[in-house]
Structure 1
């Protein structure tokens, strides 16, 4: 999940919960955490005290936890946002970086302009890669089938 998508999801969740968008410190915390920065490094970048950044971070994790219905912290922010994006249908198609599809906020595995055999091979490869990523998120085959809009029996090939 790229930083822009993560921030967009977190901002929407916060806005739905509080009526306020992420502020500069919250944006800096999310960006820093997703880039594996310490609170000290984030504080230095934001020209704030480490204590202030930790306090704002704690409050942000609580608000996101309440919105997502699961505990969110510095160590699991990315995976919590990915799970939310998948379950809510906002997952960005994995194939978009390969020129196969460019539609944002949906899983778009193909483009009608490619020939049939190349298309099937690319789609199969993308679906396999997506299935592996979804399994690493501990989703069941039934959940994955729903996300991929397919029958659970089709997943037996993966």
Structure 2
């Protein structure tokens, strides 16, 4: 089965797990995912008859539209994963050569003090940095020199923090 095929089915909600639920349809059980915002817009309950459309993934159906009798249909937009710009080129290449000084300059120009050498990843650099009295932060800097992600630094990963 190819990934991300669009599917539609009608069935009865079995079990509900936060924003995921099972649907009994055509003698099979399917796992469906509304996402946190989707379940807020369209609350589901066990035994509810639903009609849904979505992208079939290997493990679940990402619901993009859901309806039930007596309720208006709801369109659901799932957030796409946040990847470095240019990371989705089919050949895996990037438009810019990897340049550690560019990653360091991006951190410095954004007001960060770099605490360790940048670590090269296939499509970005990871840079350990701090701002004034804040905790150490791991910056993800794409090869073009743009910081696109900030997350708390893991002391197990960054030995200079231990």
Which of the two has higher C-alpha Rg?
2
Could you say which TM-score interval applies, normalised by the shorter chain?
under 0.3
| Greater share of residues in helix | 1
TM-score normalized with structure 1 length: 0.25
| Greater share of residues in strand | 2
